[in-house]
Amino acid sequence: MNPATATKKPHGQIRQSQVITTFGPGALVDLRNHAGIVGGLEFWQGADRQIFEERLVAKIQVTLNASGLRLYAPPVDSGDLTAPLTGIAVWMFPEWFVAQYEIEGPGKVRSRPLIHRETLVKNKFLGPDRKKYPVVPIRFVQACLNGHISDLDWYGFVHDYKEDCRRQLFVDERGTGGDLSDITIRCECGKSRPLIVAARSPQAALGFCKGRRPWLGNNSREQCGGGGPGVQINRLLIRSASNAYFPQVLSVISIPDANAKLRKAVDEVWEDFLQYAESMDDVKKERKKAKVNASLEGWSDATVFAEIERRRGGGPEQTKTIKYAEIETLLSSPDEIGEDILDGDFFARVLPKPNGDPKILDKVERIVLVHRLREVVAQVGFTRFEAAMNEVDGELNLDVRRAPLAREISWLPAVENRGEGIFIAFKRDAIKSWMNRPAVQRRGMQLLQGFQAWLQGHPGSKSTFPGLPY
**Predicted confidence (pLDDT) at residue 11 exceeds the cutoff of 60:** no
**Predicted confidence (pLDDT) at residue 118 exceeds the cutoff of 90:** yes
- The continuous run of DSSP H or E covering 280 comes out as helix 280-286
259 to 252, 263, 336: CA distances (angstroms) = 18, 6, 17
Short-list 103, 92, 104, 182, CA closest to 138: 92
The string of pLDDT tens digits covering residues 193-203 is 999 999 888 88
The string of pLDDT tens digits covering residues 70-112 is 999 999 877 677 777 788 989 999 999 999 999 988 888 999 9
Determine the pLDDT at residue 203.
82
* Mean pLDDT of all residues in 401-408: 90
Give the DSSP letter string of 311-345.
Answer: HHTTSS---S-HHHHHHHHHHHS-SEEE---TT-S
**Predicted confidence (pLDDT) at residue 316 exceeds the cutoff of 50:** no
Short-list 175, 234, 173, CA closest to 201: 234
* Helix, strand, coil in percent for the chain, rounding step 5: 30, 25, 45
Determine the pLDDT at residue 258.
56
Give the DSSP letter string of 357-382.
Answer: -HHHHTTEEEEEEEEEEEEEEEEEEE
Partners of 350 in the β-ladder: 368
- Work out whether strand 70-72 and strand 411-426 pair parallel, antiparallel, or are unpaired: parallel
2 pLDDT band, cuts 50/70/90, is very low
Burial class (CB in 10 A: 0-12, 13-18, 19+), 398: exposed
Determine the pLDDT at residue 384.
93
Determine the pLDDT at residue 10.
54
What is the radius of gyration, based on Cα positions, of the chain?
28
End-to-end, the C-alpha distance of the chain in Å comes to 47
- Hey, which of 83-92, 110-119, 459-468 has the most confident mean pLDDT? 110-119
* Mean pLDDT of all residues in 151-165: 93
- Identify the sign of the CA torsion 421, 426, 431, 437: negative
* Mean pLDDT of all residues in 293-316: 78
Which ranges of 103-227 would DSSP assign to H, the alpha helix? 154-158, 196-200, 202-206
Q: What is the mean pLDDT of the chain?
A: 86
359 to 125, 355, 366, 437: CA distances (angstroms) = 72, 11, 15, 16
69 to 165, 262, 267, 388: CA distances (angstroms) = 49, 21, 15, 22
343 pLDDT band, cuts 50/70/90, is confident
* Mean pLDDT of all residues in 250-264: 79
The string of pLDDT tens digits covering residues 361-376 is 889 988 999 999 999 9
* Mean pLDDT of all residues in 451-466: 82
**Predicted confidence (pLDDT) at residue 452 exceeds the cutoff of 50:** yes
- Work out whether strand 103-104 and strand 149-150 pair parallel, antiparallel, or are unpaired: unpaired
12 to 29, 45, 86, 93, 95: CA distances (angstroms) = 12, 19, 16, 19, 23
CA dist., res. 182 & res. 197, Å (int): 12
Q: Are 109 and 173 in contact (CB under 8 A)?
A: yes
CA dist., res. 423 & res. 237, Å (int): 41
Q: 178-187, 254-263, 335-344, 381-390: lowest mean pLDDT where?
A: 254-263
The string of pLDDT tens digits covering residues 218-247 is 888 898 876 556 788 999 999 989 999 999
CA dist., res. 143 & res. 151, Å (int): 9
